Chains A and B, each alone.
Chain A
Amino acid sequence: MEEFRFIDLETHDAYMNMAIDEAVMRAIKEGKAPPTLRFYRWKPSAVSIGTFQGMYDEVAIDYCKSQGIDYIRRITGGGAVYHDYEGEITYSILMPMKHPLAKTDIIESYKLICGGIIASLNILGINDAEFKPINDVIASGKKVSGNAMTRRHGCVLQHGTILLDLDVHEMFTILKVPQEKISDKMISDVKERVTSIRDILNRKVSVDELLESLTQGFTDALKIKLLPSKLSDEEFQMATKLAKEKYSSDAWNFSR
């Protein structure tokens, strides 16, 4: 059974959340950190965009500024995600490229790690959850989790969001949803594309309940042992530096 360092639910701002992922990757590269699973929330709520997306193309910047919502570019591809503090949990899993759980095939890799989310949803009583290539988990045909991966620093990083609650109006006020994406799926109403755990179960599932199911779900699906721990001082210092110099900078966030 593979062991993973487990960093239990933490709350940070967007810059620190993304900086921690990179700091852990760098530490793993240098052999200074073990494979790691972390859960976290975003405060203030924030929108993250994929590394190839244009910030102004995807995000209503003026609205975000007026509401105190942060906006950040990820190092991973994929689409824009609204991380509502009350409405989701984000996870990151990081391991060396040569780790037994790091599949060479990227879609297989997504499928394996998304198994943790599916197992978690099963625990909560959602039994029709499935992996939908390339990088989604759906339930009742609607997206409930989006995921993104990068492979650099000799590492595999996958992070993703699991939607607990969804304010569709707020989400589509913050995100600029391209018409092409909607018409391709022959769905006239954007609200039909995405769902949340509370919508599916029709009850107020708490953050703690979701957290518990995720912890168990990842343990079961990946057959790993979680060893509760925290960032090293060196990782924390690196993350603080990256948050300040990279992830909060316009040079990074508005580079495209």
Chain B
Amino acid sequence: MIILKEANYKVPDGKLIKVKLSVSSEKIDQVRILGDFFLHPEETILTIEESLIGSVKDEISITETIKETLNESDAILIGATASDFSKVIMMAWESK
């Protein structure tokens, strides 16, 4: 994977999120959400990353996609929220 874009964000009173993003034709080609947050069950992160492939640059719809995956997986995210993930994806997208 060629890393094109990256951003870091420390959630106030929460954990650090790092996003690595590659974009092709204005859509997410691949995304990695890294950090020291907690997510139970842990495998959910892969489902989230996969669900975001093909997403366009829209913070609200990306948040919704993440929320949907969390719900479907009956997952608990601690130290960050779906909106935080989405926010950092946007930050990465807008980075040079």
Which A residues lie at the B interface, using CB under 8 A?
A: 50-54, 57, 75-80, 106-107, 134-135, 148-152, 178-181, 183-184, 256
- Contact call A180/B34, Cβ cutoff below 8 A: no
Q: Give chain B interface residues in 10-50, CB to chain A under 8 Å.
A: 10, 12, 14-16, 18, 20, 32-42, 45
Among the listed B8, B12, B78, which residue makes an inter-chain contact with A106, where contact means beta carbons less than 8 Å apart? B78
Compute the total of residue contacts between A and B using a CB distance below 8 Å: 70
**In the complex, what's the smallest C-beta–C-beta distance from B21 to chain A, in angstroms?**
13
Most buried by B among A50, A76, A148: A50
- Contact call B38/A77, Cβ cutoff below 8 A: yes
**In the complex, what's the smallest C-beta–C-beta distance from B80 to chain A, in angstroms?**
10
- The residue on A at minimum CB distance from B12 is A184
Assembled-state Cα–Cα distance A76/B18 (Å): 17
- Contact call B34/A148, Cβ cutoff below 8 A: no
**In the complex, what's the smallest C-beta–C-beta distance from B60 to chain A, in angstroms?**
24
Among the listed A57, A106, A149, A152, which residue makes an inter-chain contact with B41, where contact means beta carbons less than 8 Å apart? A152
Pairs A-B, 5 closest by C-beta atoms: A79-B36, A77-B38, A184-B10, A180-B10, A180-B8
Other A-B contacts than A52-B45, A150-B42, A152-B41, 19 sampled, CB-CB below 8 A, are A50-B36, A52-B33, A52-B34, A53-B35, A53-B36, A54-B32, A77-B36, A77-B38, A78-B38, A79-B36, A106-B78, A150-B40, A151-B41, A178-B10, A178-B18, A180-B8, A180-B10, A183-B10, A256-B34
Assembled-state Cα–Cα distance A50/B79 (Å): 13
Assembled-state Cα–Cα distance A224/B40 (Å): 27
Assembled-state Cα–Cα distance A57/B79 (Å): 19
Which B residues lie at the A interface, using CB under 8 A?
A: 8-10, 12, 14-16, 18, 20, 32-42, 45, 76, 78-79
**In the complex, what's the smallest C-beta–C-beta distance from B20 to chain A, in angstroms?**
8
- Contact call A149/B16, Cβ cutoff below 8 A: no
- Contact call B38/A178, Cβ cutoff below 8 A: no
- Contact call B34/A57, Cβ cutoff below 8 A: yes
Contacts of B78 in A (CB 8 A): 77, 106-107, 134
